[in-house]
Amino acid sequence: MLRSIVARIPSSATGGGPAALSLQNRVLGYTLRAVGGRAVRPQAHRAGPARVAHGRRSGSGSQSEPRSISAADCQNVIPDRKVLLRNPPAIPWQVGHFMKSQLLVVLVLFLAIGLTAAPQASRKPLTQDQIMELVKGSVPSSRVADLVRENGISFEPTEEYFRALRSAGAEPVLLDALGAARAAKSPEQDVAGQAKQHIKAANALMDTGDIDGAIVLYQKAIQVRPGDAEAHRLLGVALGKKKDWQRDITEQRMAIQLNPDDAAAKTELAVALHSAEAEQARRDEPHVASPVKAPAQDTSAQAQQVFAAGQLQVGQRKFEAAAISFSEAAQLRPDWADPLVERAKVYMKLYLFREAIHSYDQAVKLKPNDPVILNLRGYANYSASEFKRAVADFDEAIRLNPNMSEAYQNRGNAKWQMGDKAGANMDFEKAKLLGSGAQARKNTKRR
């Protein structure tokens, strides 16, 4: 272990080469001979390795002159440390004291070089958990306060946190240091905090019904941080409250562009597109009786492509994106009911029952005698607790197709919710009978 420690003395301290080995050898020799209060400076002899290993004088009887120890000498001196430990030669205590002082100087020099060469570790702000652990670990509050002043903190202390520190035994010096400290924040975090404050204030105004004031604050949040997807989405919602659908659509699309995974923005965009389409339909209400012009060929093909994309998105369970695609397809081909029906189905999956009913209403206008669409609209009314309207839709669907078992089953559920259990049971029996008959016909075809 000692040899490994000595080997860590950087060669840069002596310029490298044999001099570095000489420094390591001297430190090891001083340390080995310091046991028992004795210290001997390693002797370098002119004799060969065998004479150096035994530590004898030259044959003439006179002491040889010392010389610098080379790397080859180190290989001979260091392995014989056990022998030197067993029989350390005695020297005057003054020399031993001098050698100990030299050893101390060398060790201090080694530590200084190591500390200077070591890279400075980056100081990270303290977290509230780290400070709490230090306090609970009986670390003096004054020391923890010094760490807080040196490193800073990564949080905003609250009154609850101060109470918890007092309960854990923190002294006022630490509490004062925390109160004076400020959480280390980057410029981007400061901007995000300002935008969040504007959004929070705007949400409060929305709750009180001050939509105009909320719009102003949402716009301020966007001015502070243009890339805030939440601010764009909430601004679009506020604009939708003012029936400004086009700007609502613009903001929702911007929010989706900034955050493609924002499901709320996709839902809001689908609702905005649907509402804009409904408003346009109401404006064109006096002209509904006029014959619908056939769409242009390129528009029809484009609608087909968008509709196919919506179906693919439904298969991928991307319902918000699918609702947007079906809305665009319906705008490209106003005489096509399929996008309206599929969009209504997506709204049902998103639990947007009112929007689904309205989309089915538009489809029924294009196909008033389609029992499937009427049955689907009836189920949407049933899901929205509009049981009377649901029964009316189911009645019409059964009138157009008396063998539709699903319509009987759905009408039975609606009658049961209205308290007509006898009528509900009759519909259930009829649905069961039609269902078994359909299954029997299917089995006959298979044979």
- Whose tokens are 């009978």? That residue is 433
| Token digits of residue 301 | 């093909």
Neighbours of 233 (CB within 10 A): 25
**Residue 400 and residue 416 in contact, taking contact as beta carbons nearer than 8 Å:** no
| Residue pLDDT, tens place only, 114-130 | 544 444 445 688 888 99
pTM equals 0.43
> Distance (Å, rounded) from C-alpha 97 to C-alpha 95?
5
Cα 90 from Cα 109, distance rounded (Å): 28
Cα of 428 vs its chain's centroid, Å:
50
Q: How far apart are CA 62 and CA 91, in angstroms?
A: 17
User: What percentage of the chain reaches a pLDDT higher than 70?
Assistant: 64
Confidence at residue 45, expressed as pLDDT on a 0 to 100 scale: 44
* Higher per-residue confidence, 155 vs 221: 221
> How far apart are the C-alpha atoms of 435 and 69, rounded to whole Å?
105
261-269 average pLDDT score? 81
Amino acid found at 432 = K
For the segment 317-343, the average pLDDT, to the nearest whole number, is 88
Among 54-58, 123-127, 149-153, 435-439, the minimum mean pLDDT is found in 54-58
CB 133 within 8 A of CB 161: no
Residue 9 token pair: 């003395």
Residue-wise DSSP of 93-136:
HHHHHHHHHHHHHHHHHHHHHHHHHSPPPPP-PBPHHHHHHHHH
Rounded CA-CA distance 95/100 in Å is 9
Residue with tokens 């029924």: 364
Q: Answer for the pair 393, 375: CB distance below 8 angstroms, yes or no.
A: yes
Structural domains of the chain, ranges and CATH numbers in brackets: 2-117 (no CATH), 128-180 (no CATH), 188-283 (1.25.40.10)
- Position with higher pLDDT, 294 vs 311: 311
Comparing 54 with 188, the larger pLDDT belongs to 188
User: Under a CB-based contact definition with an 8 Å cutoff, are residues 168 and 136 in contact?
Assistant: yes
Place of tokens 């609606």: 414
Give dist(CA 154, CA 164) in Å, integer: 18
Spatial contact of 141 and 135, defined as CB atoms under 8 Å apart: yes
